[in-house]
Every structure is written in structure tokens, then in C-alpha cells.
Amino acid sequence: MTPLIDVSFQLIIFFMLVNQIVTVENPAMNLPRLVEPVAEQVQPEGSLWVNVLRLGDGKPEVWIGTRRIAPDDWAAVTDRVADEQRGRSVLVRADGGLAYEDVAPVLQAVREAGVQRVGLVVLGEEDGRE
């Protein structure tokens, strides 16, 4: 009996870990926190995520889905978004510590890919009306 229980728990842990790894697409970052909570709840399923991370030296790094984009290669951002969007909504998740001038070219590149509606991801307040 004991080995059976051991193995089943091991399997449960294995599948939970694998599941976690597959679904985690978004790197951890300090998202901007809204003082006035007006944001809608994110619908992560089926959205294309554009992550703008802040590196140690304060420079931005762009990830689209699970791919890293070379620094300052805005044409690549446009191409990737155009390739991967396929009618999905686009969510831009930028670190709150970045300057606007680091995020603006990403928004510009996303716009050039023909995307009309973009979600800017923020951290919800706990007492927020979301």
C-alpha cells in the first residue's frame, strides 16, 4: 500500500509542476499600482502578452509571449505582434519602474502591427472595484 501512495503523490506533484511551468508565460515584475482603481479584470486566456521588463541597469527588455526581442529592435516587435496576434487582444505588461520613453516605442511598434485595442496591465488594489 505504501509504495502506491508514494507513487501517486509523486505523480500528483509532477503533474502540478509541469502544469505550472506550461502556463507561466509572464515574468515577475513590479507592475504599476493604480491609486484610483478603475481597471477591468484581465482575461488572460487567448491574449497576446507583450512584457516590458526592467533589467538591472534600468534598460527595458521586451518579451512577446515566450520570445525575447533584441534590444531596440522595434521592427521585430511589430513583426512578432503581427504574426502572433491573429485577432487576439494584446496586453502590454510594463514594469512600473520604467520611464515612459522606454514603453512608448513598444506601444508605437504594437500600433504599427495594426492593433487597435491594447490593454495596459496594472496591479489591482485589494479594495478596488474590479
- Dihedral (CA of 67, 71, 75, 78) sign: positive
**Min separation Cβ 105 and another protein, Å:** 11
Extract the C-alpha cell encoding 13: 506533484
111 binds another protein (CB under 8 A): yes
With a CB cutoff of 8 Å and minimum separation 6, the contacts of 78 are 109, 110, 112, 113
First to last CA, the chain: 48
Q: How far is the CB of 27 from another protein (least distance, A)?
A: 12
C-alpha separations of 31 from 6, 75, 108, 124 in Å = 40, 25, 20, 10
The CB-of-73 to another protein minimum distance in angstroms stands at 20
When asked if residue 94 is in the footprint of another protein (CB under 8 A), the reply is: yes
What's the min distance (Å) between Cβ of 46 and another protein?
Answer: 14
- Contact between 48 and 115 (Cβ < 8 Å): no
Minimum distance of another protein from residue 13's CB (angstroms): 6
Q: Which of 21, 22, 40, 57 binds another protein (CB under 8 A)?
A: 40
Contact segment (CB under 8 A) with another protein among 63-71, 75-83, 116-124 equals 116-124
Please give the single-letter amino acid code of residue 79. Answer: D
Residue number with CB closer to another protein (1 or 22):
1
Among residues 47, 70, 30, 44, the alpha carbon closest in space to that of 62 is found at 70
Judged by the rule CB under 8 A, the positions of this chain that interact with another protein are 1-2, 5-6, 9-10, 12-13, 16, 20, 28, 31-42, 91, 93-104, 107, 110-112, 115-124, 126, 128, 130
